[in-house]
Amino acid sequence: MKISTPEEMFKLGQELAKKYKILLLFGDLGAGKTLLTKWFANGLWIDENIVQSPTYAYINSYGWKLLHVDMYRIENENDVREKWINDQISNHEYIAIEWPKFIDVLDINHYAKITIQKDWESRIVDIEW
């Protein structure tokens, strides 16, 4: 699907919050992974203004409801274990993972794989279940 406006990205985030508990977000830097996570959070009644990219923290938790993980700097399966990512996953109802590497060691299933591609002034979003 083509997303041409911020309002369309907002609407997509709201729809995802109604349908999915786990999002795996793929896309280049600046594609809109964190923005989509903000709107996903908003659909879960979480203030989108507190949602920030967890690139340097690896994990941001928004209460018990949403866990936001960024695996961009994760280099191997040991990093996943050392950051206690699986332990955090089990404590949250909803999960959004940017740059989902090494997901085979994560205790997750039934997720939506979302790929966002930049296309000039719009985004092309592909959702697989």
Q: What is the set of domains in the chain, with CATH numbers? A: 2-128 (3.40.50.300)
pLDDT of residue 59: 86
pLDDT of residue 91: 83
Distances 73 to 8, 56, 59, 68 between C-alpha atoms, Å: 30, 8, 12, 14
| Sequential DSSP letters for 10-76 | HHHHHHHHHH-SEEEEEE-TTSSHHHHHHHHHHHTT--GGG----TTTSEEEETTTEEEEE-TT--S
pLDDT of residue 45: 95
Q: Alpha-carbon distance 16 to 127, whole Å?
A: 10
User: What is the chain's pLDDT, residue by residue, as a tens digit (129 residues)?
Assistant: 999 998 999 999 999 999 999 999 999 998 999 999 999 999 999 999 999 888 778 889 998 899 999 988 888 888 887 877 777 788 889 999 999 988 888 878 889 999 999 988 899 999 998
Burial class (CB in 10 A: 0-12, 13-18, 19+), 23: buried
What token pair was written down for 74? 């994760």
pLDDT of residue 95: 94
pLDDT of residue 28: 93
